């Protein structure tokens, strides 16, 4: 086929003037653009889509999308956009990810190239792939996907932009912005996929919560006491709680106003906190139901610190254990139970004596269990206020306590109050 015939065919497909199409085609061919590409380009210019070989998939509402869909077209508002480099089939790829919304719902997306859109933009996304991510459908924006500004702004019920309080950060969040004070920070060398890498780890806080962070592109701005706006972070689970991750794409800007940091931990019901999947700093009030085995006077492996059973470490076999104090107590607030772990200092407080007193008591009775029994006599049935870091795994919920004291309020009342406070 010559240019004339191509132009005739295109003009008839697109319903536009043949002379105009022919001029466009010839112009492109002059620059050595292959004829198929030139035709696609002319089609796009005249609003004819990608060339007819892949028909535009049906337009759908986000709420309708399931993992059974192949490709879809949707008109959406961009809520958030995070940038991250991932290693994909041996190559470092920069991807954009976040959430989209329309009037019916929200969906996560991953864009494998930079389409240039930003939070707040209203777009018609054509021919996006649907894949399953974390059990939910997610849109995949790839080289076959078209992104165009929507004819009208898309109205949504959701917050546009990634600004969040720390208490609302959950593992899996991407493209978040936080305003925080740095509370703790230390440098660390790790063996990463590219050899030894220096990172910085610490804790940040705002008036709602505290969270651990990792800066993978260590920058000096993150020093103790600094008040910062940190844009484009993602959150992942680290030791059972959400952790904030700063990448090379994250921007850090000093704030002129100081960030106030909550003195107290957020008070939640145990059920609510467990459902959230883990919290770095949380407070419960509940009744101690039981003091579990492995409490009181225990021995730890000198190599790894694990509690030994009959002089055996799970990793190091028979070892000469070191004496220590610990409590594992089951706390119940009427919504759920959690295993509260007290370290040696908190255990000494509830026992009324340190390691020396505990060893002396065990020697007198010729029985180590007297220490745990004495602690159980004190704790079981009592109401306690406990604060610490909550992790949740397949074995249940564990709170590593940083504070533990008798509660003067009724736990059931407190749990109801905590639920009301969260407003769920
Ligand atoms: Zn060991």
Q: Which of 272, 47, 305 is nearest to 151 (CA)?
A: 47
**pLDDT tens for each residue of the chain, 424 residues long:** 678 888 888 888 777 788 888 888 887 776 666 677 777 777 776 665 544 444 567 789 999 999 888 899 999 999 999 998 888 778 888 999 999 999 999 999 999 989 999 999 999 999 999 998 878 899 999 988 999 999 899 999 999 999 999 988 988 899 999 999 999 999 999 887 778 889 999 999 999 889 999 999 999 899 999 999 999 999 998 877 889 999 999 999 999 999 999 888 888 999 999 988 888 899 999 999 999 999 999 999 999 999 998 899 999 999 999 999 999 999 999 999 999 999 999 999 999 999 999 999 999 999 999 999 999 999 999 999 999 999 988 889 999 999 999 997 666 666 666 665 554 4
The share of the chain scoring above pLDDT 90, in percent, equals 64
- Span from the CA of 310 to the centroid of ligand 1 (angstroms): 13
pTM beyond cutoff 0.85? no
Report, in angstroms and rounded to the nearest whole number, the Rg of the chain calculated over CA atoms: 30
Find where tokens 């190559």 sit. 91
Rounded mean pLDDT of the chain?
Answer: 89
Contacts of 397 by beta carbon, 8 Å cutoff, 6+ apart: 270, 273, 274, 336, 337, 338, 339, 390, 391
- Reported as half-sphere exposure (CB side, CA atoms, 13 A), residue 270 has a value of 26
Longest alpha-carbon distance in the chain: 107
- Span from the CA of 303 to the centroid of ligand 1 (angstroms): 5
Helices and strands in the chain: count of H runs, count of E runs: 8, 21
- Span from the CA of 304 to the centroid of ligand 1 (angstroms): 4
- Span from the CA of 290 to the centroid of ligand 1 (angstroms): 27
- pLDDT tens readout for residues 385-410: 999 999 988 889 999 999 999 997 66
Cα–Cα distance measured from residue 266 to residue 279, given in angstroms and rounded to the nearest whole number: 10
- Span from the CA of 321 to the centroid of ligand 1 (angstroms): 9
- Span from the CA of 302 to the centroid of ligand 1 (angstroms): 7
CA of 315: how far to CAs of 77, 305, 307, 311, 398, in Å?
A: 52, 10, 11, 12, 22
- Span from the CA of 355 to the centroid of ligand 1 (angstroms): 21
Cα–Cα distance measured from residue 10 to residue 22, given in angstroms and rounded to the nearest whole number: 9
- pLDDT tens readout for residues 296-348: 999 999 999 999 988 999 999 999 999 999 999 999 999 999 999 999 999 99
- Residue 53 is predicted with a pLDDT of 42
- Span from the CA of 311 to the centroid of ligand 1 (angstroms): 10
């Amino acid at each position: 086929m010559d240019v004339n015939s191509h132009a005739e065919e295109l003009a008839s497909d697109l319903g536009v003037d043949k002379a105009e199409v022919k001029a466009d085609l010839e112009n492109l061919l002059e620059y050595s653009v292959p004829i198929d590409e030139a035709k696609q380009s002319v089609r796009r210019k005249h609003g004819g889509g990608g060339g007819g070989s892949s028909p535009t998939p049906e337009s759908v509402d986000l709420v309708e999308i399931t993992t059974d869909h192949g490709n879809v077209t949707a008109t959406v508002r961009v809520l958030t956009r995070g940038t991250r480099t991932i290693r994909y089939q041996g190559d470092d790829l920069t991807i954009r990810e976040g959430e989209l919304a329309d009037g019916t719902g929200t969906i996560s997306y991953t864009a494998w190239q930079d389409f240039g859109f930003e939070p707040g933009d209203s777009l018609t996304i054509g021919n996006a792939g649907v894949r399953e991510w974390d059990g939910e459908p997610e849109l995949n924006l790839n080289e076959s996907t078209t992104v165009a500004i929507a004819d009208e702004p898309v109205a949504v019920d959701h917050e546009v932009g990634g600004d969040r309080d720390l208490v609302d950060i959950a593992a899996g969040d991407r493209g978040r912005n936080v305003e925080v004070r740095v509370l703790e920070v230390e440098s660390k060398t790790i063996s990463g996929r590219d050899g030894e890498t220096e990172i910085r780890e610490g804790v940040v806080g705002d008036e709602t919560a505290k969270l651990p962070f990792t800066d993978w592109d260590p920058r000096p701005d993150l020093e103790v006491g600094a008040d910062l706006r940190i844009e484009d972070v993602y959150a992942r689970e680290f030791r059972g709680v959400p952790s904030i991750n700063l990448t090379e794409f994250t921007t850090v800007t000093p704030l002129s106003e100081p960030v106030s940091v909550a003195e107290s931990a957020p008070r939640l019901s145990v059920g609510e906190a467990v459902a959230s999947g883990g919290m770095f700093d949380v407070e419960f009030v509940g009744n101690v139901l039981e003091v579990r085995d492995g409490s009181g006077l225990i021995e730890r492996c000198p190599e790894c610190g694990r509690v030994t059973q009959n002089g055996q470490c799970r990793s190091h076999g028979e070892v000469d254990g070191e004496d220590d104090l610990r409590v594992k107590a089951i706390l119940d607030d009427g919504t759920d139970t959690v295993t509260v772990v007290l370290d040696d200092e908190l255990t000494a407080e509830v026992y009324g004596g340190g390691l020396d007193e505990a060893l002396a008591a065990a020697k007198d009775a010729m029985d180590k269990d007297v220490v745990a029994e004495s602690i159980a006599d004190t704790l079981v049935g009592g109401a306690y206020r406990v604060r610490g870091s909550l992790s949740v795994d397949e074995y249940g919920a564990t709170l590593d306590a940083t504070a533990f004291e008798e509660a003067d309020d009724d736990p059931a009342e407190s749990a109801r109050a905590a639920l009301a406070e969260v407003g769920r």
